[in-house]
Structure 1
Amino acid sequence: MPYLPGWPAPDPMDAADLERIKQAFVQATHRADRAGFDIIQLHIAHGYLLHQFLSPITNTRNDAYGGSPEGRMRYPLEVFKAVRDAFPAEKPVMVRLSATDWIEGAWNIDQSIDFCRNLKDLGCDMVDVTSGGLDQAQQITVGPGYQVDFSARIRAEAGMATMAVGQITDPVQAETILSTGQADMVALARGMLWDPRWTWNAAVALDEEITLPAPYARCNPKLRTTPFVTRK
């Protein structure tokens, strides 16, 4: 399906295309391992190819890779298994997943939970839970931590470790998500772009000890027990 009206429609993938793309993922996995990466995250979100297979909006195939939720999950699961098998067993492989399309009758959280159960059976270590990005018709309810509930449900109902993302900006907010069992990790994007020292400031706010390079450690507000002296 074309992403927007007037955009070129992609050709349906045949069996040779499916195998070629899967092997491309495998080769990329081998290169990542040789380059020394410690973890792989397979992107099945935000309208990228594997997300397109999951959603009934973009997947209108009438073969084994379309139709029912099980059919639509088939190719992403095959690709995940191929990547997992190609990466050393001691190194984790995780998935970035759009938990919902935010469109009535499209991919949703219940299907995501079923999908994550299958991922867990194949050896997935964690799911980075995001949402949307497939179609302009999405109606997203945005607010602080607006995707955390998706993470919490997948963690509880699929038994899968999760990473929560999406308008997580405050240290207490992030710590609460972890301490209440809504996720196993949190990730920040814009918050870190705005404040590259976010983790240092969070440690101060949460009264945690941090180890800093010596020139920076002198600037740690926690160590400032006397006021600075200004010489005239």
Structure 2
Amino acid sequence: MSPFVAELIGTMILIVFGGGVCAGVTLKKSLSQNSGWIVITFGWGFAVMIAAYVVGNYSGAHLNPALTIALAVAGSFPWDQVGTYIAAQMIGAFLGAVVVWLHYLPHWKETEDPGAKLGVFSTGPAIKNTFANLLSEIIGTFVLVFVLLALGAKGMKFADGLKTLIVGFLIVGIGLSLGGTTGYAINPARDLGPRIAHFVLPIAGKGSSNWSYAWIPVVGPIIGGVLAAVVYNLIVQ
């Protein structure tokens, strides 16, 4: 499996599980409706973990443009592969969102709230405040990337597969502690790919795709990831 295909498939799996848990919790007449934020955070943690287990040996399982860029800044990933990885991640995220839409096909019509439908695909702020929302995405992604770099440090040894399990719980931890402000995109592809799917798919009563907010879960994670890489390099050197 090529790294491009691996990143595409891995990110698609990520969104199928992550977007799927959001759909189950928010869409009307789902058996898991209203099961809450803890279910969502664990769903996303499992999503990252499972996707990483599937494709980690082929691409390193970045599954996130902010992480890919951060690793390049840190000197751990070649810049000439960054574009290929990001393209694969975006395509995979879009396709994953399409799968979620198809899986919950009868539930879109049953759900009146357009915001709930958009929330299946992309993030939004609990309190709209541009600076605070951007800062939340920066901090959340900084924590993600800094911890991932630390877990990959020389001399840090794990039993086979344990590191990936820890990364899954890292996502849960970020969601529980920092995710309540913006929905913790912490991943441009995770937000933008499904938001594009929301825009183009024939979803009953879907409303706006909220493009005025869409730049925050793209720019914030990239800034946070780059800052984490710079700070980590300064500390370890």
Please give the TM-score of this superposition, normalised by the length of structure 2.
Answer: 0.32
- Greater relative contact order (Cα 8 A, min sep 6): structure 1 or 2? 2
Please give the TM-score of this superposition, normalised by the length of structure 1.
Answer: 0.32
Question: Which is higher, the Rg of structure 1 or of structure 2?
Answer: 1
